[in-house]
Amino acid sequence: MPVLSVEKDLDRHVMTVTAEFAAPVERVWALYADPRRLERHWGPPGWPATFVRHELVPGARSHYYMSGPAGEREHGMWIVREVDEPRSFVVDDAFADEQGEPKVETGFTTMRADLTPVDPRTTRVVFTSTFESAEQLQQMLDMGMEQGLTLAMGQIDDLLAEEGAAV
């Protein structure tokens, strides 16, 4: 499994996920810099994301929506804070209206990614997510998570089976 560790700091509202990918650092970077790639992994299970606007440059604002199983849409947006290609980036993520304007009442989640090449074909990434309130986390998790959880588990199992078959 690519996930090496998950650390949760309950009181500081921080979660750190460390993962290792079998790809050079530039390819992992492209998963976030290229909107077509980004939308294939950003949405929660069962809620694929579509990026209407995205550019990984400081100050840029991304706009995306996630499509739910019943055809509903939930909008989100990013404010790109820091970019040091291909080493790190920091974005603030928030729920948004249909124009991509952030809904300030639910607050922002700050996501930081640090990419380190382990060797020319392996990249380690540390994702640090800091959220402002438990309410925000709850809202995020409520979104389709009932069906999504089961789906995610299924996908992880499928992936494990694939990996097992490939070895």
Nearer of residues 13 and 61 to other proteins, judged by Cβ:
13
Does 2 engage in binding with other proteins (CB under 8 A)? yes
Does 124 engage in binding with other proteins (CB under 8 A)? no
Rounded CA separation 91/19 (Å) = 19
Does 42 engage in binding with other proteins (CB under 8 A)? yes
Please list, in sequence order, all residues whose beta carbon lies within 8 angstroms of the beta carbon of residue 51, skipping any fewer than 6 positions away.
Answer: 35, 36, 38, 39, 42, 62, 63, 64
Pick out residues in 11-40 that bind other proteins (CB under 8 A): 11-13, 15, 17, 19, 21-23, 27-28, 31, 37, 40
Number of chain residues interacting with other proteins (CB under 8 A): 48
Q: Which residue has the tokens 């291909």?
A: 86
Contact (CB, 8 A) for 64 and 76: yes
Does 6 engage in binding with other proteins (CB under 8 A)? yes
Closest CA to 18 of 115, 95, 151: 115
| The amino acid at 1 | M
In the complex, the residues that contact other proteins under the rule CB under 8 A are: 2-3, 6, 8, 10-13, 15, 17, 19, 21-23, 27-28, 31, 37, 40-42, 44-45, 68, 72, 74, 127, 129, 133-135, 137-143, 145-146, 148-149, 152-153, 155-156, 159, 166
